[in-house]
Amino acid sequence: MILFGLRDTGSVNSCLPVITILKNQGIPVSVYAEGSALTLLRDRFTLISECKMSNLLDFVKPSLVVVTVATKGGSVPIDLNNEAKKRSLSTVLVEEMWAGHSAFKWEVLPDGVCACDEFAKDLILKSWPDYPGSHVHVTGSSIFDKFISVQTKVAKYYLRERLGLSNEWPVVFFPGQGQIFGMTQAVPMLVEALNDLATPMHLILRDHPSVSFSKAAEYREVLKKLRTGTIVDSNKLSSGEVNAGSDIVVGVFSTMTVEACYLRKPVITIWSPEIGQSLLEVTNNTLGEWPIINLGASLKAESAKEVMSCLQKILAEDTATMQQAQQKHFQTDGLSGSRIAMAILDYYRC
């Protein structure tokens, strides 16, 4: 039996394909869920939830425990990992993005880690300098496997048809994130830039699932100041459909901006020292800048004037360098889920 511990949306999206692969191979799997993972999976799985970790392990009696990272702490991953290690059970951490491991203080480290790329592996080994490099498996992240078959031209047509966008104005998508502070800085920058640019655009702003209506109101109020273009209600479509159908993606450090790199979209990352500090705090001083910037896969803007400059560059189709970086660093063969499953099975003893 393999027990998966899930908490956040990212861990659910990353592990569901892996769970399916393992089940198809005849491997028995149980799922413990809490937080947003419980809400997402309640109608799709027979789940175990709201259980003490000691009772959970006594009930399931797994041979291997797979833990995942979370933006807000709970029993996953630390308590579950600790209880498993007390029983001399092997544990594997599946990290779907960079630096997720660093959001927690690990009392005892997992036996293996699945990392999304070499950059993520380097970050893990910097955080855990005595950890064996051979135990960090660069598998890719199955959350991005889907992009092997996405057709963005079709997605653009679908988005405009479903949302009734009859004119040819560019669609700018701003995916939200859980850290409100970054949003309250970045959204006003974008609105000011769009006003100064004076080129009509459709703006779609989506709130992160973890953000309450009252919290979102703190940055949504500024949308009333947009003088050029329109604010589009995109509730008919999923965030993934909006991302695939948009023309430009603007964000802070949302996973959606990473997905936009896989989709070969022009991306603008809005940044400031304060936003950088909030990322440092979230990742316990591991990341001071969003890696898509470091890798050259996104433009970077630190003021409304720079956001406008980036928009002008994109409208002029001066994006060759960014596209080359996206093609180099954000490729998928659709097999990351299979590689994660294989890495997990290296630690599985029936």
Q: Tell me the DSSP string of 242-257.
A: HHHH-SEEEESS-HHH
Count, residues in the chain: 350
Q: Would 350 be classed as within a structural domain?
A: no
Same structural domain for residues 183 and 324?
yes
Mention every residue, 6+ apart, whose C-beta is less than 8 A from residue 35.
7, 8, 70, 72, 74, 76
Place of tokens 């899930």: 6
pLDDT for res 138: 96
Statement to judge: residues 134 and 40 lie in one domain: yes
In whole angstroms, what is the distance from residue 4 CA to residue 27 CA?
A: 13
Q: Residue 89: CB partners within 8 Å, gap ≥ 6?
A: 57, 62, 63, 64, 65
Residue 175's nearest CA partner among 9, 5, 342, 11 is 9
Residue 74 belongs to a domain: yes
Q: How far apart are CA 119 and CA 131, in angstroms?
A: 16
Only one residue has tokens 């997402």, namely 40
Residue 313: what pLDDT?
Answer: 97
What's the one-letter identity of residue 293?
I
Q: Mark 252-281 as b/e (b = at least 16 C-beta within 10 Å).
A: bbbbbbbbbbbbbbbbbbbbbeebbebbee
Single out the residue of 134, 215, 129, 230 nearest to residue 180, CA to CA. 215
Q: Are residues 175 and 324 in the same domain?
A: yes
136 lies in a domain? yes
Q: From first to last of the 350 residues of the chain, give the pLDDT tens digit.
A: 999 999 988 889 899 999 999 999 999 999 999 988 888 888 777 788 888 999 999 999 999 999 999 877 789 999 999 999 999 999 999 999 898 899 888 999 999 999 999 999 999 999 999 999 999 999 999 999 989 877 889 999 999 999 999 889 999 999 998 777 789 999 999 999 999 998 999 999 998 877 888 888 888 999 999 999 999 999 999 999 999 999 999 999 888 999 999 999 999 999 988 888 888 887 888 888 899 999 999 999 999 999 999 999 999 999 999 999 999 999 889 999 999 999 999 999 86
Same domain, 67 and 188: no
3 state SS of 75: coil
**Spatial CB neighbours of 269, under 8 Å, sequence gap ≥ 6:** 250, 251, 252, 253, 257, 290, 292, 293, 298, 299, 300, 301
* Whether 340 contacts 139, CB under 8 Å: yes
CA angle 54, 58, 64 (to 5 degrees): 90
Cβ atoms of residues 335 and 149 within 8 Å: no
pLDDT of residue 336: 95
Q: In terms of domains, do 155 and 249 share one?
A: yes
Taking the CB of residue 329, how many other CB atoms lie within 10 A of it? Answer: 18
* CATH number of the domain enclosing 237: 3.40.50.2000
**Same domain (yes/no): 92, 180:** no
Q: Which domain range does residue 83 map to?
A: 2-140+334-345
* 112 shares its domain with 46: yes
pLDDT digits (tens, 9 = 90+) for 102-139: 988 899 999 999 999 999 999 999 999 999 999 999 99
Number of domain units in the chain: 2
DSSP 169: P
Q: Same domain, yes or no, for 174 and 105? A: no
Q: Specify whether 182 is located in the same domain as 130.
A: no
Cβ-contact 2, 29 below 8 angstroms: yes
- Residues linked to residue 202 through DSSP beta bridges, in sequence order: 171, 230
Phi, psi of 300, deg, nearest 5: -125, 135
Neighbours of 235 (CB within 10 A): 8
- The pLDDT score that the predictor gives to residue 58 is 94
On whether both 186 and 319 belong to a single domain, the answer is yes
* DSSP letters for 122-164: HHHHHHSTTS-GGGEEE---GGGGGGGS--HHHHHHHHHHHHT
Domain match, 210 and 324 both: yes
User: Six-digit token pair at 270?
Assistant: 């809005």
Predicted local distance difference test score (pLDDT) of residue 121: 96
pLDDT score for 350? 67
CA 258 from centroid of its chain's CA atoms: 7
- Beta strands 202-206 and 112-115 are unpaired
Residue 198 lies in a domain: yes
Looking at the fold, whether 76 and 154 belong to one and the same domain comes out as no
